Each structure stands twice: as C-alpha cells, then as structure tokens.
Amino acid sequence: MRAAVMHQAGDVRVETVPDPRIVSPTDAIVRSVRACICGSDLHPYRSLPASDPGRPMGHELIGVVEELGAEVTALSVGDLVVVPFAYSDNTCPACRDGFQAACHHGGFYGSNGVGGLQAELARIPQAAGTLVAVPGVDPATADDTLLKSLLTLSDVYLTGYHAAFMGGVTAGSTVAVVGDGAVGLSAVLAARRMGAEQIILMGRHAERTDLGVAWGATDVVPERGDEGVARVLELTGGLGAQVVLEAVGLMPAYVQSYSIARTGGTISRVGVPQYSDAPVGGTSLFRRNLTLTGGVAPVRAYLEDAIQDVLNGEIDPGKVFDRTIGIEDTPAGYAAMDAREALKVMIEF
C-alpha cells in the first residue's frame, strides 16, 4: 500500500510499504476513505531530525472495516468507522474516567509498530474500544460534506470540543479563543453549541476568522500581545474572559491566555505545548485564582454523540477542510499547510 513517511523536517514522502495485517486478536484493519493533515503534524514538519526509515505519519481517518481480529465482535466487516487519533481499550480506569487518550493499554499511531493513518490501509489496535461505526452511511454514495464532517470527529473538531468541555463553557459564558487554526475554529463552534454568549476569536487570517464568525464568534481580535489583551479587556467590560480556549501550543499564546482571563476564570489548553515550563506563580495564575486545564483530547469519549450531531445536521465541522488531495500529493499538502495556503488538507482515497 501507499503511505506517507516523514524522513526529516520538510521531507514527507509517499512510499510503498507492506499492507498492515492483524497482529493481535483485538486489532482491526481499516481501508481508508478520508484522512487528513493535522496542525500538530506541522511541529515535526518544522523540527524532526533526520531518521531512517522515517516516521509513519497521520492520525485522523474514517474508513471501512476490512478485517477484524477474533476478539472484535461489536463491529462488522464493511462498517464505516471513525478512527480516534489515539487507540484505547475503553475499559481501563483512565478510559472509564473519560480520558481515553491516556488509556493504560492505548497508544498513538506511527509508533510502537503501529503505522500512520495517512495511508491506504491501517491497523487499529484495541479496535473494539477505539472504533465507532457510523450507522446507515455508505461512503461510496455519501455526500462529501458529510464525510468531511465525520472525518473531523477523528481529532480536530473534538479537540476543539474538549477545550470547551474542560473549560466548563456553559450557557451565558464569555469565551475567548486564542488561535484561528482548525482547532481554534472548532472550539468556537463547540463553545457556541454549549451556549456561550460572547465568543471572542483571536486571529489574523480573515478567511479563517470568517468561518469563526459563521460558527458563532461574536468578536474578532486580530491584535496580539499587549494590544490584543487591551482589546479583549475592552470587549469584556474590563474584566476579561471567563473561559479562554488556547488552541496554539506556543508560549506567546499561553501568556496571552492568562492575560485575558477574568479573575477566577479558566484557561483550557488543547494546543500541544511546545514548552515544558511556563508562568504559574502569583502574577500569572495564583493571585487571580486562574485555573489551567485541558490536555490531549479523549476524542473517543465524545464520539457517539458527535456522530449523531453530524448525522442530524446540527454541526458542520467539515468546513475546516479547504483543500482535497490524493495520497500521492500528501507532501504538497504539508507544504500548503505549512505555508498557511491551506487551513486543513483532506486526503481522499
């Protein structure tokens, strides 16, 4: 089969690799229908040291079950499934607590002998706990809009949703979203679904913030740094936002987040932190009782409900995809996202 492999920063290649096979009776093999490129894939695209044989890429996928291990009884060959970006048994204590991305028996694609999902076929470990079937949808005849929205449930939309969920967004909340990437925009959509009254989107790319406004952002703040802080305070009666959803992962976004948070408010992070230490002392978090929450999204926890929301037409998160390519064009897809020519690139098989 054909699969994307990153050999070093800036060097993604599509290669012919062996088809994956059932290794454990809890595995499934899924034939890809749609995959995509994640903002988090750009971190290694900008920094990965050279390695041989390289890193299998991709962690977002919808596809059709092609083969099932003997212990996977709840799924059927031919099911259209959403593949969460982390696999999990959905039964361990972390899973039962709703944190499936930290499953005691789970893991991530592209490591530990598990391939990436920017590939024609994928082996999914812990398939019974991981995969969720989409009832009544035949990918061969399904509407492209529907498939796009289902694909976002693999990561991007539900990562934005996780930010809002952990941030405790509720009816009437004043929310600020830091970052106008696909996750930030998804966080806007999720916050609006949860009833936020004011949603301030901090971002500078009009073609992106326009989608944010369509999804419910009430204000757009293109300014950054002190000017951005001043603008958010002005928009919130001098108080700041009750909930700040941080969808970037870089230190300036972290500083921006606590600077615009209201006393007693919450910063919920889903941008993968590209730093290990950060301000948490008196002048940043402690004096104002700011709460710092969020983390790697347990997509699996939210998946059944979100599939229904998509099938019912209540959300349309697939609008984050503004470019569609074939698997052979994956390197160009990375380059387009890296250059911000594309918001999010979908791979059609």
Q: Which residues bind a second copy (CB under 8 A)?
A: 93-94, 97-99, 101-102, 166, 237, 239, 262-264, 269, 272-273, 275-296, 298
CB of 160 to a second copy, least distance (A): 15
Q: Which is nearer to a second copy, 157 or 258 (CB)?
A: 258
- Which residues in 49-205 belong to E strands, given as ranges? 55-56, 61-68, 80-83, 86-87, 107-108, 121-124, 132-133, 174-178, 198-202
* H-run or E-run covering 47: helix 42-47
CB atoms within 10 A of CB 46: 11
CB of 94 to a second copy, least distance (A): 5
CB of 281 to a second copy, least distance (A): 4
Per-residue DSSP letter, 101: G
CB of 24 to a second copy, least distance (A): 23
CB of 240 to a second copy, least distance (A): 10
Q: For residues 269 and 18, what is the distance between their CA atoms, to the nearest angstrom?
A: 37
Per-residue DSSP letter, 49: P
CB of 207 to a second copy, least distance (A): 30
**Residue 317, preceding bond cis, omega within 30 degrees?**
no
The radius of gyration of the chain from alpha carbons, rounded to an integer in Å, stands at: 20
Q: Which is nearer to a second copy, 222 or 295 (CB)?
A: 295
3-state secondary structure of 261: strand
CB of 203 to a second copy, least distance (A): 22
Q: 274: left (phi > 0), else alpha (psi -120 to 50), else beta?
A: alpha
Scored b (16 or more CB within 10 A) or e, 9-39 reads: eeebebeebeebebeeebbbbbebbbbbbbb
Q: Which of 34, 67, 9 is nearest to 324 (CA)?
A: 34
Q: Which is nearer to a second copy, 156 or 217 (CB)?
A: 156
CB of 99 to a second copy, least distance (A): 4
Q: Which is nearer to a second copy, 44 or 298 (CB)?
A: 298
Q: For residues 151 and 136, what is the distance between their CA atoms, to the nearest angstrom?
A: 16
Q: Which is nearer to a second copy, 48 or 285 (CB)?
A: 285
Q: Which is nearer to a second copy, 218 or 293 (CB)?
A: 293
Q: Which is nearer to a second copy, 24 or 263 (CB)?
A: 263
Q: Which is nearer to a second copy, 209 or 236 (CB)?
A: 236
Q: For residues 122 and 3, what is the distance between their CA atoms, to the nearest angstrom?
A: 10
Q: Which of 190, 195, 287, 177 is nearest to 232 (CA)?
A: 177
CB of 260 to a second copy, least distance (A): 15
Q: Which is nearer to a second copy, 166 or 176 (CB)?
A: 166
